[in-house]
Amino acid sequence: MRPAILFPLFAEIRTLSGVGPKLEKLIAKVAGPRLVDLIFDLPVGVVDRSYRPRIAEAAPGRIATLEVGVLEHFPPRVKSQPYKVRVSDDSAMMDLVFFRADAKYLNDVLPTGSRRFISGRIESFKDRLQMAHPDYVVQDAGQMPLHEPIYALTEGLAARSLAKAIRGALDKVPDMPEWQDEAFVRREAFAPFHEALLSSHAPRHDADLAPEGAYRRRLAYDELLANQLALLLIRRQLRGPAGRAVTGDGQLRARAISALPFALTDGQLGALAEIEADMASPTRMLRLLQGDVGSGKTIVALLALLTAVEAGLQGALMAPTELLVRQHCASLEPYAKAAGIRLAALTGREKGVGREATLKALAAGEIDILIGTHALFEDDVTFRDLGLAVIDEQHRFGVHQRMRLQSKSKAPDVLVMTATPIPRTLALTAFGDMDVSRIMGRPPGRKPVATRVMNANRLDDLIAHLKRALSEGQRAYWVCPLVEESEVIDLAAASERAVMLGKALGGKAGLVHGQMKAAERDAAMAAFKSGETSLLVATTVIEVGVDVPEATIMVVEHAERFGLAQLHQLRGRVGRGSGKSSCMLVYHGGLTLAAKARLATMRDSDDGFLIAEMDLKLRGPGEVLGKRQSGMEEFRLADLAVHGDLLLTAHDDAKLVLARDPELKSDRGDALRVLLYLFGRDEAVRYLRTG
């Protein structure tokens, strides 16, 4: 149950004075629906009103605060002209300019002969200084703030309305118990939470907004500790006390390995050893397997699944798309056959009698390994005894989905895989509830892909090059971007590009995109794989997992729209066979500095982990995995590109806390419960036996 000390902060923003239904909706849009959302909505800028020149010395373009006498009003002769009020000090005169003004209001606020303090941006117009619509007109300088925070707004929301609501929310913040380690607080010279929060909302200069600032670091660490503590509590729940040791005799694995056309790499063998050690322990395995594009994760996963089958249990492999499920089935079938085990698929496409037969065989234990999409979560899917669940492309599935899959059995081990190289800081926040194995390096025979960056004005040259390459029997992908705002337009563009390239290259170009029916998409992929079509135009549906070793050319159009991780994934679709491969990154128009940096990184490196670190720096954590797919939280106070050191400390601190005080019953434990609730980790607290 949420601690009483936090009740005021979890009230809805409509409880604040002056916040009606319309304003509530607008504020909720930019910050969130509760007071706690408002206090964590930090300023994005600051207006400094401390510049106090005389009029004659005022610099155009700067915000100035002036003490003036009101000389005369000049109402407009026609409505389209501005209303002017002439003011002066002992050095010069200037005009205050108002458009669509109310004459009575201005005469009340600026009566002739009065003295006023005004603040706003100084402008120069026809050799005379003026100030259009001053931000403040007051009788006493103390009535205006010298330093004013600027918050992100939405259309229809006035800056002062939001600022007033945030001040109202900050007034409700109680003095919190100190949840941080006292020695650490002293070492870092951290202010108490309450002081750090209020000071973060009262910046004086732009430097005060920087994430490196002392107050912001304090708040960032609070948020990161809540994240790590919650993930460790969830991990403890997922692992649970009721694990079991899963070991095999190695016979099935030996048969599968003997059927491989290559030797396992040191990286694969190392990852497999870590996985098998976890499976053999009496606690549940919860491990993330990271490997760059083409590093051979799927074979490692199969060998782990065979360990479960050797132990008399079943295995499940879950992938995010039907396309990937079909491909896993096709690529693993020969090794499953060599090992003598039964493999089956289950996706949303299976219906009626066929589906019923699969489910019946699964429940009876007649299927050893089931490969499927999220259809594996459905209530009617019952395993006889699930020993290992492997989840491919983990970032497409959240913690809750992992828990649902685990509920299919008493205590299955869980291995999750991603081909998206993830920086350590991001791995800790998105997957901090798991141990991590990395397969470094590329498998034998994988060749580097020559990468070039080119302007779209050279498209004719590129098409001529493609024509020659395809006539020699090569195969190529041409990827068109899919922008969320306009899927219809982008699909039309991809279709048009397929028609244009088909004509230009003297043959039919295949087309695949996410809106196609699965059967149509599979048919287009099969035609490309068999060589019936030598060019496949696609949206990013081919980003993950598509394996056509004969494809040697990847063209990415509008490459400037893609993130580094996505470009790296797309490039990984070629270079999978014996031929030399190339990747052309085609950009349209001018490039931003960030886009230039992204494309240069792709041109100069093929190290997925280095590319992922650069992606984190350029785009921030929310975009690296894709917020929509990952369901990954977006930090409000912490910036992983800046606060990586704090995250590592928070991870270690959270582990130490739970080792010493597993149920958070100590004084610090009680305070940490407040922290978890403050940052919305209610579910994690419920896993505490006394929570």
Query: According to the model, what pLDDT value does residue 43 have?
Result: 96
**620-671: per-residue pLDDT in tens?**
554 444 433 333 456 899 988 789 889 999 999 999 999 999 999 999 999 9
Query: How would you list the strands of the sheet with 535-538, edge to edge?
Result: 449-455, 581-587, 551-557, 475-479, 535-538, 510-512
User: Is residue 445 very low, low, confident or very high in pLDDT (cuts 50, 70, 90)?
Assistant: low
Specify the 3-state DSSP secondary structure of 143.
helix
First to last CA, the chain: 7
Cβ neighbours of residue 343 under 8 Å, at least 6 residues apart? 329, 332, 333, 336, 367, 368, 369, 371
User: Which run of H or E residues covers position 377?
Assistant: none
Q: Kindly state the average pLDDT of the residues 511-529.
A: 82
Question: Which one has a higher pLDDT value, 464 or 688?
Answer: 464
Give percent helix, percent strand, percent coil of the chain, each to the nearest 5: 45, 20, 35
Q: Say which DSSP state 142 is in.
A: G
Q: Kindly state the average pLDDT of the residues 680-687.
A: 84
Query: According to the model, what pLDDT value does residue 632 have?
Result: 45
* Selection from 142-146, 169-173, 616-620 with the highest mean pLDDT: 169-173
Show the beta-strand stretches assigned E in 60-127.
63-74, 83-88, 93-98, 115-125
What mean pLDDT is reported for the chain?
Answer: 88
Q: Determine the CATH number of domain 449-605.
A: 3.40.50.300
Domain with CATH 3.40.50.300 in the chain: 251-439, 449-605
**558-603: per-residue pLDDT in tens?**
999 888 888 888 898 888 777 789 999 999 988 888 889 999 999 9
Query: According to the model, what pLDDT value does residue 523 have?
Result: 85
Specify the 3-state DSSP secondary structure of 64.
strand
Query: According to the model, what pLDDT value does residue 575 have?
Result: 83
Range from 289-298, 435-444, 505-514, 643-652 carrying the lowest mean pLDDT:
435-444
**48-91: per-residue pLDDT in tens?**
999 999 999 999 999 999 999 999 999 999 988 999 999 999 99
Query: According to the model, what pLDDT value does residue 631 have?
Result: 37
User: Is residue 434 very low, low, confident or very high in pLDDT (cuts 50, 70, 90)?
Assistant: confident
Q: Which amino acid does the sequence have at 660?
A: R
Q: Determine the CATH number of domain 251-439.
A: 3.40.50.300
Rounded to an integer, what distance in angstroms lies between the CA atom of residue 82 and that of residue 80? 7
Query: According to the model, what pLDDT value does residue 438 have?
Result: 86
**220-233: per-residue pLDDT in tens?**
999 999 999 998 88
> Quick count: other Cβ atoms within 10 Å of Cβ 570?
26
Comparing C-alpha atoms, which of 526, 540, 534, 474 is closest to residue 504? 534
Query: According to the model, what pLDDT value does residue 74 have?
Result: 97
78 touches 38 (CB < 8 A): no
Query: According to the model, what pLDDT value does residue 286 have?
Result: 85
Query: According to the model, what pLDDT value does residue 376 have?
Result: 84
Domain with CATH 2.40.50.140 in the chain: 50-144
Percent of the chain surpassing pLDDT 90 = 58
pLDDT beyond 80 at 493: no
Question: Which one has a higher pLDDT value, 261 or 26?
Answer: 26
Range from 79-88, 351-360, 615-624 carrying the lowest mean pLDDT:
615-624
Q: Kindly state the average pLDDT of the residues 330-355.
A: 91
**383-423: per-residue pLDDT in tens?**
999 999 998 875 555 555 656 666 677 778 889 888 777 77
The packing angle between helices 159-170 and 21-30, to 10°, is 80
**Topology of 50-144 in CATH?**
OB fold (Dihydrolipoamide Acetyltransferase, E2P) (2.40.50)
